[in-house]
Structure 1
Amino acid sequence: MGLFSVGSALCGLANSLPQLVVFRVIQGMGGAMMVPVGRLILLRSIPPQEMVSAMVWFTVPGAVGRVAGPLLGGIIVTLVSWRWIFLLNIPFGVLGILMARAFLSDTQERIKQRFDIVGFILLSLGLVGLVSGLDTAGRGLVPAGVTITLTTVGALCVLTYWYYTRRVDKPVIDPGLFKFKAYRTAVAGGMPLRVALGASPFLLPLMLQLGFGLTPLMSGLLTMATAIGSLCVRALLQPAIRRFGFKAILVVSTLLTGVFYALYGLFTPDTSHTLIFAILLFGGLFNSFAMVTLNTLGYSDVPPGRMSQATALSSMGQQFSLSLGVAFAAFVVTITASFHGHAPGTLGATDFSPAFIVVGALTWCSLFYFYRLSPDEGAEMRGAG
């Protein structure tokens, strides 16, 4: 939290784009460490039969943030300065540090092991190369040769890391965790769903502001609907899982999530704002149904001794999927705009529709994994919370 707060302060003080990029990396490093640690604390302290209830509460702060974020961001950009989007993180970071010191005990791993520096370098280079290469593809930001080189080097580093882990005892991230069915389903099977989750918040504000000509404030008010839908699901999820089980919830919510993402692509500048709000609300609701269910089920078959690495690998996969979603969405929009004869700076409303339809179809790829779950998967976690 300290690193995240420092990074936020530096972002708010940045005077150039290169500075902002570097400071965002620092901020991202701090944020990336908070999620797996928080989830690990939860998994180690809550019994399985209470995990659904605990995970619902664990995700409430994030849902509240997504409700307030678009509106607050729109107000800040409209009335003050973009710098305050970052500076506002500082008091919350300080509050988080104080609460952590007050309520969390200083626990450490009992088993000590050397840090796998070789694996860390290979995996870091691989992920950075893949995301950077995909992000620049077709956008004209760098020469095509640079994009191909980044993607190729990234893929080779990831492949090398996979072979490397087969001959070391304690890799920094152990791919052997994928032998656990529920965990494999949550991380690998949920990747298409998370790619779509990363693409949607990127596409919606751009479509509403650049395509429809709405102000940042009005755009924030409309996109807030997805977060409200996400928050509403917290009251419904636990009884739904008890009644229907994890598999049924995942299959139905993923199907409906894809449908609603595709419906976003049918919006036009003349579409009623009330209708847009309603569709975004239900889209956020069904997407949240799928994601919270998936995140709860994923750790049901992981042994306690491997939980630390499992949360790290899961968080890494989630962040990679979200980044890939942004890169993929940008690529589809760029290709569509080029087909329509539009320059990147003059995007129209029709340039976004194919991206939403493709993203909606992409979510259904996760069904290949979800259908293979047994109807009683995670039965020990469906008890009273």
Structure 2
Amino acid sequence: MHQVKLAENIYYLGYNDRRTNLFENIWPIPHGVSYNSYLIVDEKIALVDTVERQFIDDYLDQIEEIIGDRQVDYLIINHMEPDHSGAIKAVKTKYPNITLVGNKKTFGFVESFYFKPDNTLEVYDNDTLDLGKVKLQFQMIPMVHWPETMVTYDETHKILFSGDAFGSYGTLDGGVFDDEINLDFYEVEIMRYFTNIVGKYCPHTQRAIKKLAPLDIQMIAATHGPIWRTDLDWVLSRYNKWSTYDTDNGVIIVYGSMYGNTQKMAEVIARQLSERGIKDIRVYDSSKTHASYIINDIFKYKGFIVGSCAYNNAMFPNVQTLLTTIEHMGIKDHYLGVFGNFAWNGGGVKNLMKFAESIKWDLVYDPVEEKGALKTDKYQQCIELANAMADKLLAE
């Protein structure tokens, strides 16, 4: 079996999950995901995070293959989410004298999920752990994206073991390091991972980036996706852009339509935006496209126009689910447009306006609502809605 090393005595222990369809049982991962753990073999031996429980047997075998009869002295727990802590109980069983390294909140999660830890080392900002040649430093980055999250910095090799920060969807198909793979494939998967998983905590991400900036980081080893050793700025610059809500001048149009009338309004708006010179336009049927992809594009583009037919005096259910998720994410600083359709009673646009009031984005035009098929006056209002959005974007 190939042994992948980050440095002379630091091993990559990673596994590719190509079977799971939904990450966290919510987000589609058509290209799978990797679970990354790391083993530092020194005078003392340390594991950095573990892996998802389906890989426990192979994981323990791989550790033994590397260290033989030696004992693992420390298990450093950067993040307690079960896709990274799933093997903790098995590691503790195999190496009963192991010391769990984490912060105060870490050990509460260990007890909640697995067992009451009896041999622990509680660490704080700037604390260090000497393994021999390797000296590790710890920094707390809470809410990126759980409250106990921390990172481990190898002062000797300048490696940041970053937990979920700077991670990605997508399996590692042969290549493990950024210079071994085509990053064009991972661009969307890295952004989707950020927007789906970390994006709710953009202010916390910004604080973490600033906190870690003084460190001389030469390699970033996350718990998902590629290890960054050549072009760290590729991922760092993107995380900085996304976590500051720095968007491009495009428009996302999302609609919910039963019989096509609301969709026709969306098509009119999209065409007029194009005629006004907006090139990045994405139109989504909320019943077909998963929120994961729509939210990803909302982080990418400044304009958001949403339309809903009335459905039992309420919003179309799939639009409502999407908007609830957007509100939960707390995404900021967008331009908003609203449109919709009804047959015998309203409800769609009325509830879209409740979303508008709650999200507090810049509403560019009065809501456009049609009864039945699209007619001349509402057609013209759709044009004017598109123009108002284009005016805002072109003035940026």
> For this structure pair, what is the TM-score category when the shorter chain's length is used for normalisation?
under 0.3
> Highest CA radius of gyration, 1 or 2?
2
Could you say which structure has the higher strand fraction? 2
Higher relative contact order (CA 8 A, sep 6+): 1
TM-score norm. by structure 2 comes to: 0.25
Could you say which structure has the higher helix fraction? 1
